[in-house]
């Protein structure tokens, strides 16, 4: 008996399915929340802002519903071409969804980007939910004030208070989504957790390890692409990836003294990719300088972003 049959009790039970766009300011916790709700790593997480660059879909089954979460890039005031592409991608994801979830960092409240997002949401027609994250760090009375202020700005269908890190409040959110989405067949096979190709997911994992290791020294000047993927007869996979940076000085940082940094990044990425694939992985990383890659249309296509004019 499948999980679906166990949860619904019978095959004749009506199924629900749909797309839920998670939007919010940078570092509100969207990727952490998607990973928790899906129950697996589908989106990279970093304490560094603007980690997610393109829309990543994580697929969760809850009761008789298939919920496709669209983890969008954090919305902020863009300065560079890449910034504009990321923000455009986020709002595009929202407009394509059946339902929109606005995630607010309770500690930061409605300051800055969050306030601007609320203003922009007034013109978006889809049903909207408000989710206050990191509630364990804020006094209850302050949470209530925050919820009231946000609901006065935008008519939300419901408000949920959660901790994406611990999972507190997440079941209530999933229960609601499972019934709020339209009735209809599921979009993806039952065991699929993401629509991201493994080559791209592997590159995202390496990019996460790069950020975690070098977030101070190598801000946003790096991009990772999987160039070769070879399934070997012994059941292992050989993966070759290129880390693109913009200057020779950044290449030296990525490599580290005696190759120490690149070895650590490779080891961490290989371990996680191997766990996801459930097979041995041989990972080879190369660092190449590509000046001004942030203005290269081909790099944007690799990231799943439209190149802004």
- Structural domains in the chain? 16-180 (3.40.50.300), 198-303 (3.30.300.20)
209 is in an annotated binding site: no
pLDDT tier at 53, thresholds 50, 70, 90: very low
Asked if 89 and 305 touch (Cβ cutoff 8 Å), the reply is yes
Predicted local distance difference test score (pLDDT) of residue 184: 94
User: What integer is the mean pLDDT of 1-25?
Assistant: 67
Among the ranges given (43-52, 134-143, 205-214, 229-238), the one the predictor scored with the smallest mean pLDDT: 43-52
pLDDT tier at 259, thresholds 50, 70, 90: very high
pLDDT tens, residue by residue, 70-98: 876 555 444 555 555 555 555 565 677 89
Q: What angle do CA 198, 201, 203 make, to 5 degrees?
A: 110
* Mean model confidence pLDDT for the chain: 81
How many angstroms separate the CA atoms of 307 and 82, rounded? 8
User: What integer is the mean pLDDT of 16-41?
Assistant: 84
How many angstroms separate the CA atoms of 300 and 294, rounded? 8
How many Å separate Cα 151 from the centre of its chain?
25
21 is in an annotated binding site: no
Predicted local distance difference test score (pLDDT) of residue 74: 56
136 is in an annotated binding site: yes
| Tokens describing residue 288 | 């190449």
133 is in an annotated binding site: yes
pLDDT tier at 117, thresholds 50, 70, 90: confident
93 is in an annotated binding site: no
30 is in an annotated binding site: yes
| Tokens describing residue 255 | 């490599």
- Closest by CA position to 127, among listed 181, 87, 207: 181
92 is in an annotated binding site: no
Predicted local distance difference test score (pLDDT) of residue 219: 54
Predicted local distance difference test score (pLDDT) of residue 31: 80
Coil, strand, or helix at residue 294?
Answer: helix
Coil, strand, or helix at residue 208?
Answer: helix
Predicted local distance difference test score (pLDDT) of residue 193: 81
How many angstroms separate the CA atoms of 185 and 182, rounded? 10
26 is in an annotated binding site: yes
35 is in an annotated binding site: no
- Closest by CA position to 37, among listed 128, 107, 101: 101
Is the overall model pTM greater than 0.85, yes or no?
no
**DSSP H or E stretch at residue 298:** helix 297-302
How many angstroms separate the CA atoms of 169 and 30, rounded? 15
29 is in an annotated binding site: yes
Cβ neighbours of 197 (radius 10 Å): 11
7 is in an annotated binding site: no
Whether the pLDDT of residue 222 is over 90: the answer is no
Among the ranges given (21-30, 97-106, 165-174, 204-213), the one the predictor scored with the smallest mean pLDDT: 21-30
Whether the pLDDT of residue 266 is over 90: the answer is yes
pLDDT tens, residue by residue, 149-191: 999 999 999 999 999 999 999 999 999 999 999 999 999 888 8
28 is in an annotated binding site: yes
% of residues, the chain, pLDDT over 90: 42
Whether the pLDDT of residue 286 is over 60: the answer is yes
Which letter does DSSP use for residue 122 in this model? T
Predicted local distance difference test score (pLDDT) of residue 148: 96
58 is in an annotated binding site: no
| Tokens describing residue 195 | 């629509």
| Tokens describing residue 233 | 């007869």
Bridge partners, 285 (sequence order)? 241
Among the ranges given (37-51, 176-190, 227-241), the one the predictor scored with the smallest mean pLDDT: 37-51
């Amino acid at each position: 008996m499948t999980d679906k049959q166990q949860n619904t009790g019978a095959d004749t039970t009506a199924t629900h399915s749909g797309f839920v766009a998670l939007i919010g300011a940078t570092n509100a916790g969207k990727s952490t929340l998607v990973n928790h709700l899906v129950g697996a790593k589908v989106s990279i997480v970093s304490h560094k802002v603007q980690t997610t660059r393109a829309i990543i879909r994580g697929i969760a089954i809850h009761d008789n519903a298939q919920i496709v979460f669209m983890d969008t890039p954090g919305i902020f005031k863009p300065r560079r071409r890449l910034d504009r592409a990321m923000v455009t991608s986020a709002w595009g994801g929202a407009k394509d969804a059946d339902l929109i979830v606005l995630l607010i960092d309770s500690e930061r409240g409605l300051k800055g980007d969050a306030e601007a997002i609320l203003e922009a949401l007034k013109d978006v027609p889809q049903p909207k939910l408000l989710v206050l994250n990191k509630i364990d760090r804020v006094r209850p009375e302050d949470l209530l004030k925050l919820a009231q202020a946000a609901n006065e700005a935008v008519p939300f269908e419901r408000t949920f208070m959660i901790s994406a890190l611990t999972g507190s409040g997440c079941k209530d959110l999933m229960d609601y989504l499972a019934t709020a989405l339209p009735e209809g067949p599921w979009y993806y096979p039952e065991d699929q957790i993401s629509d991201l190709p493994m080559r791209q997911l592997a590159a995202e994992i390496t990019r996460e390890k790069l950020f975690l290791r070098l977030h101070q020294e190598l801000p946003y000047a790096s991009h990772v692409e999987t160039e070769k993927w070879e399934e070997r007869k012994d059941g292992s996979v050989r993966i070759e990836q290129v880390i693109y940076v913009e200057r020779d000085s950044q290449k030296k940082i990525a490599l580290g003294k005696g190759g120490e940094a690149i070895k650590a990044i490779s080891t961490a990425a290989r371990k996680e990719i191997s766990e996801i694939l459930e097979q041995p992985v041989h990972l080879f990383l190369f660092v190449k300088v590509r000046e001004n890659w942030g203005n290269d249309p081909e790099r944007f296509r690799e990231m799943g972003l439209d190149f802004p004019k």
